């Protein structure tokens, strides 16, 4: 049965390999997966994937957001699949052949996820980029349009805001995986969290609480700053687990 901690993906968006390893050691087994992004992967390469796998039971979400010609993406995803990660990302972009090539390259070993609209992107950003007004006024329309392409190309699911998770699940079914960044626990949003860094550097514009995202249909939640910046990250992770557990029905691991 899926437990509350299985929902949590902790992003290793950290300045060095050393600090990433400290968080891996601290949180392995406390969260369902670790997200390894572009910054860390460029510094540490596949070795950080191997280290994370050896540290404990938490899975790996390799978030490189591949975006290139289909042949290159296929070969890159083939290498990713050999690392044994659970999920890997590809930008939806404008080319469905790229998405199909990513799925072919994964050979069923790694779930390919399409990145629809980054949670740091606002309606004005979409408008400025030259998209039609219908997409700028309703970001969910763009997410759903890209999700349809992802589904048709055989990908496992998408990355999208929790604000769109419900519509995606309703349209594409419960087996279509949805990972949502921009998650802030209720206690973090209310300003009750005691952090080491009080400066507001949050670049997420479309955020929801863990329960809001899960009730909308999110399968996994990327939760970074509220855990990373806490005085005791392990306690913060357990606090998020408690918040999720308290709100889930008994059949889904709640009380």
Which CATH number goes with the domain that contains 241? 3.20.20.70
139-160 mean pLDDT: 93
Annotated catalytic, 234?
no
80-119: per-residue pLDDT in tens?
Answer: 999 999 999 999 977 899 999 999 999 999 999 999 887 6
Burial class (CB in 10 A: 0-12, 13-18, 19+), 153: buried
Q: Quick one: pLDDT at residue 250?
A: 64
- For residues 3-27, one letter each, b for 16 or more C-beta atoms within 10 angstroms of the residue's C-beta and e for the rest, the string is ebbbbbbbbbbbeebeebbebbebb
Q: Quick one: pLDDT at residue 95?
A: 85
Q: How far apart are CA 162 and CA 22, in angstroms?
A: 29
184-232: per-residue pLDDT in tens?
Answer: 998 887 654 444 443 444 454 557 899 989 999 999 999 999 999 999 9
Q: Quick one: pLDDT at residue 89?
A: 98
44-57 mean pLDDT: 96
CA proximity to 32, closest of 11, 49, 10: 10
User: Containing domain of residue 172, as a range?
Assistant: 4-252
Residue 180's alpha-carbon distances to 9, 26, 39, 226, in angstroms, are 9, 23, 20, 15
- Tell me the percentage of the chain whose pLDDT exceeds 90: 69
Confidence of residue 252 (pLDDT cuts 50, 70, 90): low
Q: How many residues does the chain have?
A: 255
Q: How far apart are CA 189 and CA 186, in angstroms?
A: 5
How, if at all, do strands 8-11 and 33-37 pair?
parallel
Structurally, the chain folds into a number of domains equal to 1
Angle (nearest 5°) at CA 246 between 240 and 247 = 95
Q: Quick one: pLDDT at residue 210?
A: 93
Of 35, 53, 65, 169, which is the active-site residue? 65
């Amino acid at each position: 049965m899926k437990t509350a901690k299985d929902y949590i993906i902790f992003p290793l968006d950290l300045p060095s390999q050393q600090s990433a390893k400290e968080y891996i050691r601290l949180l392995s087994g406390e969260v369902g997966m670790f997200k390894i992004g572009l910054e860390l992967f460029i510094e540490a390469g596949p070795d950080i994937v191997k280290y994370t796998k050896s540290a404990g039971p938490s899975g790996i979400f390799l978030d490189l957001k591949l975006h290139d010609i289909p042949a290159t993406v296929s070969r890159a995803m083939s290498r990713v699949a050999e690392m044994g990660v659970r999920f890997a990302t590809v930008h939806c972009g404008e080319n469905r052949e790229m998405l199909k090539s990513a799925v072919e390259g994964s050979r069923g070993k790694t779930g390919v996820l399409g990145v629809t609209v980054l949670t740091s992107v606002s309606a004005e950003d979409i408008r400025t980029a030259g998209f039609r007004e219908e997409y700028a006024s309703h970001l969910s329309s763009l997410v759903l349009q890209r999700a349809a392409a992802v589904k048709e190309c055989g990908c496992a699911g998408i990355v999208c805001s929790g604000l769109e998770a419900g519509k995606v699940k309703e349209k594409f079914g419960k087996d279509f995986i949805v990972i949502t960044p921009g998650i802030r626990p209720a206690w973090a949003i209310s300003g009750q969290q005691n952090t080491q860094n009080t400066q507001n550097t949050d670049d997420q514009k479309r955020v929801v609480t863990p329960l809001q995202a899960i009730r909308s249909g999110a399968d996994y939640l990327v939760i970074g700053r509220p855990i990373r910046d806490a005085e005791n990250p392990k306690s913060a992770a357990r606090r998020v687990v408690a918040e999720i557990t308290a709100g889930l029905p008994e059949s889904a691991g709640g009380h």
